[in-house]
């Protein structure tokens, strides 16, 4: 039997799709080339922006037609919608799209194995009860990959006024250090070379063994394992086990929780990439307060200075939102000047997208789409110029590169990535894919360096 995945949204969704795929493989299934030949189709959904949900609605329209054709022909066809949109809409999805067999929210994914077994037997699984339990992916591995995502915590307690994540992902839950280290061992055995630790806010990771054993909440204590301690445990474990994993990244990172202790651990251990994604969201303290980000412009800039002082050569990237309700011309200018002061190597830039159920959706002084688009265009222009200027400074340097794939433009070249998260192409044999190599950066073309492999 064959399966097919469509995954939308964040890296956490990609990790969870990989863990679902492992279940299919354990049952002896194989991947279909497309949905037309799949017996079981999984759509892993995103609700962060309305555009993501609209795109999924379009795909469900396609699957409605496909399902009718397949079932009319007597072919097996099971369709499951999972993830954040499934959690948010639940019964509404099933009513609107009867072709959907299962709607699996973020707290029901532990039932997925039962659905596969039912499909194998040509029946439908019984009712899936909602339980307030989140189970972590045990093994988020894509067959043959040398890069992998490792979830370490889930959920969010921050309730930024524009964000729907706490409502669809629930409260913060941390994974045990033992489970995390065990997964690193499994990935190392598969020759994975780079892992990215995932969480809605990895900096809020906190493991209390006693509280976990009792199933109760606990106030933080000095004996808890927080993110800096976990990072040190990971570095020590990879060194002691002589792991194949050579690079460790992490995301997402909330500025209010990023500590100097964490940066000290990164500075001490070479296994941690010198790249930090630190979403600022805005440059105006007034707008940051309206967003409930719980830091000021000055707080954020102080952390940037600390990071750059302790991690020379670090690359910083960010997320920034324009057109938040009540944003004045003066607020917008503060967003622009923050980009100019920090000088990020890259940024994900977008305008505010109202999400039903969030506080910002009902705030007064909503910004017109015309103004949003104009402000976003100026910010993109500003940041692209910063990108080119800052990246060009790296030309001539020698860097460590993880070879990722053959270049699409030239089969004799490889595309690699530096620990600063920059792409570089260079002449090399495909046998080097999945290995670390030393490359000299020669020149910048667009957002990609051209380099030469050093023997």
Strands 398-406 and 436-445: antiparallel
- Tens digit of pLDDT per residue, the chain (455 long)? 999 999 998 888 888 888 889 999 999 999 999 999 999 999 999 888 788 888 999 999 999 999 999 988 889 999 999 988 988 888 889 899 999 999 987 777 677 888 999 999 999 887 666 555 555 656 788 888 999 999 999 899 999 999 999 988 888 999 999 999 999 999 999 999 999 999 999 999 999 866 555 444 455 566 799 999 999 999 999 999 999 999 999 998 999 999 999 999 999 999 999 999 999 999 999 999 999 999 999 999 999 999 999 999 999 999 999 999 999 999 999 999 999 999 999 999 999 999 988 999 999 999 999 999 999 999 999 999 999 999 999 999 999 999 999 999 999 999 999 999 999 999 999 999 999 999 999 999 988 999 999 97
Cα(117)–Cα(108) distance, rounded to whole angstroms? 16
Q: Give one DSSP letter per residue of 376-428, joined into a string.
A: HHHHHHHHHHHHHHHHHTTTT-EEEEEEEEE-SS-TTEEEEEETTS-EEEEE-
State the pLDDT at residue 214. 46
Interior/surface letters 338-360, b for 16+ CB within 10 angstroms, e for the rest: bbeebebbbbebbbbbebeebbb
Long-range contacts of 173-182 (CB under 8 A, 24+ apart): 173/134, 174/205, 174/206, 174/207, 175/136, 175/151, 175/207, 176/207, 176/209, 176/212, 177/207, 177/225, 177/230, 177/233, 179/136, 179/138, 180/150, 180/152, 180/230, 180/234, 181/233, 181/234, 181/237
| 3 state DSSP class of 40 | strand
State the pLDDT at residue 363. 97
pLDDT in tens, 209-223: 665 554 444 555 667
Interior/surface letters 367-377, b for 16+ CB within 10 angstroms, e for the rest: beeeebeebbe
Sequence ranges of the domains in the chain: 2-120, 136-273, 398-453
User: Does the CA dihedral 11-16-21-22 come out positive or negative?
Assistant: positive
* DSSP code, position 270: T
State the pLDDT at residue 142. 83
pLDDT in tens, 218-237: 555 667 999 999 999 999 99
C-alpha angle 155-304-195 in degrees, rounded to nearest 5? 50
State the pLDDT at residue 137. 59
**Helix H or strand E segment including 232:** helix 227-240
Maximum pairwise Cα distance, the chain:
65
Helical axes 11-26 vs 112-120, angle rounded to 10°: 40
State the pLDDT at residue 192. 96
**Helix H or strand E segment including 349:** strand 346-351
CB 420 within 8 A of CB 378: no
Which CATH code is given to the segment(s) 136-273?
3.30.750.210
State the pLDDT at residue 132. 54
CB 367 within 8 A of CB 324: yes
Which CATH code is given to the segment(s) 2-120?
3.40.50.12160
User: Domain 398-453 has what CATH class?
Assistant: mainly beta
239's CB contacts (< 8 A; 6+ apart) are: 271
| 3 state DSSP class of 306 | helix
State the pLDDT at residue 168. 87
Backbone phi, then psi, for 109, in 5-degree steps?
-65, -20
CB 286 within 8 A of CB 320: no
pTM: 0.89
Helix boundaries (H) for 111-153 = 112-120
Cα(339)–Cα(453) distance, rounded to whole angstroms? 33
State the pLDDT at residue 105. 79
């Amino acid at each position: 039997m064959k399966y097919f995945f469509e995954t939308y949204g964040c890296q956490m969704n990609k990790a969870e799709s990989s863990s679902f795929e492992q279940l299919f493989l354990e049952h002896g299934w194989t991947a279909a080339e497309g949905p037309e030949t799949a017996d079981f189709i999984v759509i892993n959904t995103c609700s962060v922006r309305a555009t993501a949900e609209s795109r999924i609605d379009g795909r469900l329209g396609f699957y409605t037609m496909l399902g009718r054709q397949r079932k009319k022909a007597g072919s097996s066809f099971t369709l499951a919608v999972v993830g954040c949109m499934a959690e948010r809409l639940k019964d509404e999805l099933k009513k609107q799209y009867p072709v959907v067999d299962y709607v699996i929210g973020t707290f029901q994914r532990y039932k997925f194995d039962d659905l596969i077994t039912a499909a194998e037997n040509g029946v439908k699984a019984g009712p899936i009860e909602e339980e307030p339990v989140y189970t972590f992916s045990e093994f988020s591995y894509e067959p043959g990959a040398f890069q992998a995502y490792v979830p370490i915590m889930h959920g969010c307690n921050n309730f930024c006024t524009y964000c729907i994540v706490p409502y669809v992902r629930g409260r913060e839950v941390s994974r045990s250090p033992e489970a995390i280290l065990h997964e690193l061992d499994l990935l190392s055995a598969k020759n994975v070379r780079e892992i990215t630790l995932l969480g809605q806010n990895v900096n809020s990771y906190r493991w209390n063994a006693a509280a976990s054993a009792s199933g109760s909440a606990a106030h933080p204590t000095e004996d808890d394992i927080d993110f800096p301690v976990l990072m040190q445990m990971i570095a020590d474990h990879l060194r002691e086990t002589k792991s194949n994993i050579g690079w460790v990244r992490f995301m997402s990172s909330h500025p209010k929780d990023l500590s100097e202790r964490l940066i000290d651990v990164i500075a001490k251990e070479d296994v941690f990439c010198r790249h930090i994604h630190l979403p600022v969201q805005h440059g105006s303290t007034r707008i940051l307060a309206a967003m409930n980000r719980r830091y000021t412009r000055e707080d954020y800039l102080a952390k940037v200075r600390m990071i750059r002082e302790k991690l020379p050569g670090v690359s910083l990237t960010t997320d920034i939102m324009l057109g938040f309700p009540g944003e004045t011309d003066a607020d917008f200018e503060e967003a622009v000047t923050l980009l100019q002061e920090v000088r990020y190597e890259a940024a994900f830039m977008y305008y505010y997208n109202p999400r039903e159920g969030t506080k910002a959706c009902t705030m007064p002084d909503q910004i017109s789409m015309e103004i949003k688009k104009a402000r976003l265009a100026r910010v993109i222009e500003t940041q692209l110029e910063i990108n080119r200027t800052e990246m060009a400074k790296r030309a001539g340097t020698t860097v460590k590169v993880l070879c990722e794939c053959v270049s699409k433009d030239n089969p004799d070249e490889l595309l690699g990535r530096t620990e600063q998260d920059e792409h570089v192409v260079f002449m090399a044999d495909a046998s080097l894919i999945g290995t670390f190599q030393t490359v000299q950066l020669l020149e910048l073309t667009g957002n990609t360096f051209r380099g030469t492999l050093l023997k």
